[in-house]
Structure 1
Amino acid sequence: MEYPGGTREGGLPRVLSDPARLAALEASGMIGSAPEQVFDDLTRLAVSVTGAAISAITFVGETRTYWKSVPHLPYTGVENWQNGVGESFCYFAVGADGPFIVEDAAKDPRTAGHQAIGPWGVGAWAGFPIVTTDGHAIGTMCVIDAGPRQWKPQELETLAVLARAVGNEINLRISLSTAQRALSTAQSALAVSQDLARSLQDSLLPPVLRPVPGLDAAARYLPATGDVEVVGDFYDLFHTRGPWWTALMGDVCGKGTEAAKVTALARYTLRADAGDHLSPAEVLDRLNTAMLAQRAPRYLTAVQATFRATPAGAAGRLCLAGHPPALIRRAGGRVQQAGVPGSLLGIMPTIRLTDVRFRLAPGDLLFLYTDGACEARADPHSPLPHRPIFDEEALAQALADTHGLDAAATNTHIAEVLAGHHGGWASDDTALLSLRVPPNP
């Protein structure tokens, strides 16, 4: 018999050895699988419609044919539910890539003398290929009668429909399996991405603040609700020179890799220049120049405080670059803003920045934060009543309520107030940094 793809040794269709077809068969999961009712129902229906003695669903490999549904035979295990590929007619429909219809197997020149006629009692045979979505014939659905017979057109049409139903079931399973593998791969990639994001985020924040002689210092980072992603909020606290220390808080526009690049540029530029210039305005202006020279893809806001311990507490200078004002909580609980509004960094070559002097007495606390602390809002999808935005006035009141608390406890209280306001749904990342002069004994 001639096949569209040619014949291999032994007169079998060459397509049986096609790697793409064999891969499609492997992907179906049908090789060596046990009977299932969904397939047995279809073969029983084929027997009912055609009146044939036997109906079968098989999957055809390169050298073996694997039985999937042969209702008239008891299932006796995978080893027994298969045979050599040339020991049945099933490969005919696969090789023909279409229906194979035999009305008298003993006399039909294509099948006369075939070794399957006796063992299977084949008088007449009709089968259609089971085809995958990418066009590979991987098996056959057939009906067999013991004696010769003429197959009616409506019987063959029904058999073709049933073969397509088998193919649809297989293709659905392949698609589902592919989707599950893709989902698993995506979840693994997401987990790796999240781990990398966490590692990168951690590398952009000091793991532990250095202790400042004579002051109590603490910082806290509150991530936004949602997927883990590198963000542009950062803070730092480091020794500058002599008795001088520098506290930084910044917020880069956007998230992701581009924001991380700007965060790294800002942190290391500020650290490098702060030792040479005790004026925060001068240091921030130099950062602006560096960002423009490096063609930084994002702008940022920042606040820098350069200070030293004094016999009366602490004193220094503070500068705002497009950043929310710093807050000072006095020992008595009163809260006041500190800083003169200044220009964003990374946009224009000429900017306006102003140093403002500040003093902290025993019990006073300097509080730096990013805008997530003064723009907190409730989840818009929450069924709870609408709440107004948690603004600078609300933040100042929350800070006033921390009267008497140390730096770490102050940050914890602010974080709890913010969480209570937005109900556990943080719309933006938030960084908090507190510097407190311990009260007199």
Structure 2
Amino acid sequence: MSLVSDPVAVAAPSPLTSPVRLAAVQATQLLDTGPDEAFNRLTRLVSVVLGTPAVMLTVVDAVRTFLKGTPEPAQIVGPDGVWSAPVEDSGCKVVIESGEEICAGDVRADPRLRDLSLMTDFGAAAWLGVPVRDPAGQVVGNLCAMDVVVREWTPLHRETIRTLADAVEGEIALRLALRETERQAFAAARDAAEIETLARTLQESLLPAQPPRLPGVDIAARFLPGGSGVEVMGDFYDAVPTPDGVAVVIGDVQGKGAGAARTTALARSATRTAAHFDNDPAAVLRTVNDVLHVWFDGRISFVTAALASLRRGPSDTWHADLASAGHPPVLVRRADGTAEFHGGGGLVLGIGTAPMVADEVVTLAAGDSLVLYTDGITEAHVRGHWEQLGEEGARRTLASLDPGADADTIARALTDAALAHCDGRLSDDAGVVVVQVEEPGTGDVDRVVTEHVPHAGVGRETRRSAERVLVGWDLAPGTLADAMLVIEELVANVVDHARTAFRLTLVRGRDALRIEVDDEGAGSPLLQPLDLRAARGRGLQLVEAVTQAWGCDTRGRGKRVWAELAAR
């Protein structure tokens, strides 16, 4: 008789003790050291915006949590400048094991937090924590805010701390990239091609992969590095879809390299966050100024920016609300080829607490283009000679083009003119963004993207903005009704289960209407067997019934749920 033992099931390691995560934490080289001033500044921003007395950024290994940033580190760290605590006593463990944001307006009501000794030690009555990840997506730490009174964490509070956690992640990624560069330099003679590739990779992380495609406008962008071309640029742009159109910003950060890259990432994040909550571009730039003023913390630095908020007007026109903070004026190129200046002026951002922002409204008709650029275009010149291309040279360049030139042709013409004027050696970064109003009915595909953050009325807000778009596309009544049902169900899944910020994309092709919802939640929706007695769980059954196809695509930090309907 032989004896065969049953196999013993081995439990999977918890996220806290995952070897992959612990290796990622070690790679940051942030353990066993005290707070870092770059991270302290970010926590001060959180404290100012959220109005909380305590904000902490920590990195966490399997057993201890180390303080890396806080507004007033001298009040917490010990004589050796380091503060650490057992991970079992802190809220960091909850964030790392869940991999999600933890929001507790009342710590006493949250069984995961109320018995933790550090909550008692710091007198935390309310707590908000978000994960901090490395470039590969591993959770290496936690950014948290706490208050000594019970309070409500608003959607703006949560979006702000998530945005600044993104800035922390950018700082960590930048340090890892720079450390890797140094390692390569010591290992062998520094290769210029590798340095240029690294700079390009970092730069691409600070610029959109591609402009959004919106019905009615065509957006093109061209950015060229100045100097040796191996440092990260200080010029940046972003295009943020809004319910009524798009907000486009272009900016120029003082300096180049790692310091400028950090400021660029923060300026872009602050602009994108503020544009979600305010459609007044002047107010958005004033908000960005407040963020930068705290970030610079007395250092001599600044940012110039121009922001255009475009919305549809009557008879296929668009209205562009322009705001400028120390930035060159934008050029408006009309459909007949003439070009004129608008906007410009104001004072640079980040210097003082009361920014001066110039604003203006411009109406664009079909074929008109709004051209935003940085001073690397107008200040292009041959070394040793001070004759610059200038604003008038930029205007003449646009006026010399064929009237029917598209957005990409216009952008290329300006960068080519700058390169020609300096014999191909730009001394400063040069960037151009062009927004052109299309002729009615052009293009085979219409695409509208809107971004939303969780709040009590987000479902109603999303339905209204989507309905405006779909009604404008003149869909058949049955298709419109089915599309609205699908949108309601997919958005409800995000609100009920993922509970994160999400993006709704509507795409109308020749034969199909595609609906996409992207969120940062874990897990995938599953089609459950129909139970006529159940009060819930029929949403995906309805989606299955009215669509040609639907599915879920997972990605690094979330998923995309999509559905396609016949565009009758």
Compute the TM-score of the two structures, normalised by the length of structure 2: 0.43
Does the C-alpha gap of structure 1 residues 294 and 387 become closer, same or farther in structure 2, counting only changes over 3 Å?
A: closer
Does the C-alpha gap of structure 1 residues 438 and 226 become closer, same or farther in structure 2, counting only changes over 3 Å?
A: same
RCO (CA 8 Å, sep 6+): is it higher in 1 or 2?
1
- 1:12-411 equivalences in 2 (<5 Å): 185-188=188-191, 192-240=194-242, 242-295=243-296, 297=299, 298-310=301-313, 311-380=315-384, 388-402=387-401, 403-411=403-411
Letter in 1 for 2:218: D
Distance in 1, Cα, partners of 2:185 & 2:228: 22
Letter in 2 for 1:275: H
Larger radius of gyration: 1
Distance in 2, Cα, partners of 1:182 & 1:192: 10
Contact 2:328 2:344 in 1 (8 A): no
Aligned to 2:433: 433
The offset of 1:387, in angstroms, is 7.3
Distance in 2, Cα, partners of 1:273 & 1:409: 31
The offset of 1:194, in angstroms, is 3.5
Distance in 2, Cα, partners of 1:419 & 1:316: 29
- For structure 1, which segment, 394-403 or 259-268, has the greater mean C-alpha deviation from structure 2 after superposition? 394-403
Contact 2:371 2:434 in 1 (8 A): yes
Letter in 2 for 1:220: R
Contact 2:371 2:435 in 1 (8 A): yes
Distance in 2, Cα, partners of 1:354 & 1:293: 22
Q: 1:2-57 CA distances to partner (integer Å, 9 max, x unpaired)?
A: xxxxxxxxxxxxxxxxxxxxxxxxxxxxxxxxxxxxxxxxxxxxxxxxxxxxxxxx
Does the C-alpha gap of structure 1 residues 398 and 182 become closer, same or farther in structure 2, counting only changes over 3 Å?
A: closer
Contact 1:369 1:431 in 2 (8 A): yes
Distance in 2, Cα, partners of 1:423 & 1:373: 13
Aligned to 1:121: none
Q: 1:314-339 CA distances to partner (integer Å, 9 max, x unpaired)?
A: 11201010000011011122211111
Distance in 1, Cα, partners of 2:229 & 2:277: 40
Secondary structure at the counterpart of residue 416 of structure 2: helix
Secondary structure at the counterpart of residue 217 of structure 1: strand
Please, what is the CA RMSD of the aligned residues? 2.1
Does the C-alpha gap of structure 1 residues 324 and 424 become closer, same or farther in structure 2, counting only changes over 3 Å?
A: same
Does the C-alpha gap of structure 1 residues 254 and 438 become closer, same or farther in structure 2, counting only changes over 3 Å?
A: same
- For structure 1, which segment, 245-254 or 292-301, has the greater mean C-alpha deviation from structure 2 after superposition? 292-301
- For structure 1, which segment, 394-403 or 359-368, has the greater mean C-alpha deviation from structure 2 after superposition? 394-403
The offset of 1:375, in angstroms, is 0.5
Secondary structure at the counterpart of residue 424 of structure 2: coil
Does the C-alpha gap of structure 1 residues 354 and 208 become closer, same or farther in structure 2, counting only changes over 3 Å?
A: same
Aligned to 2:414: 414
Unpaired segments ≥5 residues, structure 1 = 1-180, 381-385
Contact 1:252 1:301 in 2 (8 A): yes
Contact 1:221 1:432 in 2 (8 A): yes
Does the C-alpha gap of structure 1 residues 233 and 340 become closer, same or farther in structure 2, counting only changes over 3 Å?
A: closer
Q: 1:273-309 CA distances to partner (integer Å, 9 max, x unpaired)?
A: 1011111110000111011122265310000001113
Distance in 2, Cα, partners of 1:274 & 1:410: 26
Distance in 2, Cα, partners of 1:355 & 1:249: 15
The offset of 1:182, in angstroms, is 8.7
Does the C-alpha gap of structure 1 residues 387 and 232 become closer, same or farther in structure 2, counting only changes over 3 Å?
A: closer
Does the C-alpha gap of structure 1 residues 420 and 182 become closer, same or farther in structure 2, counting only changes over 3 Å?
A: closer
Contact 1:213 1:309 in 2 (8 A): no
State the identity %: 38
Distance in 2, Cα, partners of 1:347 & 1:300: 9
Q: 1:163-218 CA distances to partner (integer Å, 9 max, x unpaired)?
A: xxxxxxxxxxxxxxxxxx99983414x55544332211110001111112201110
Unpaired segments ≥5 residues, structure 2 = 1-183, 442-568
Contact 2:302 2:349 in 1 (8 A): yes
Distance in 1, Cα, partners of 2:241 & 2:388: 36
Aligned to 1:12: none
Does the C-alpha gap of structure 1 residues 387 and 252 become closer, same or farther in structure 2, counting only changes over 3 Å?
A: closer
Distance in 1, Cα, partners of 2:386 & 2:194: 37
Distance in 2, Cα, partners of 1:416 & 1:233: 17
Contact 1:315 1:360 in 2 (8 A): yes
Does the C-alpha gap of structure 1 residues 282 and 182 become closer, same or farther in structure 2, counting only changes over 3 Å?
A: closer
Letter in 1 for 2:410: T
Letter in 2 for 1:236: D
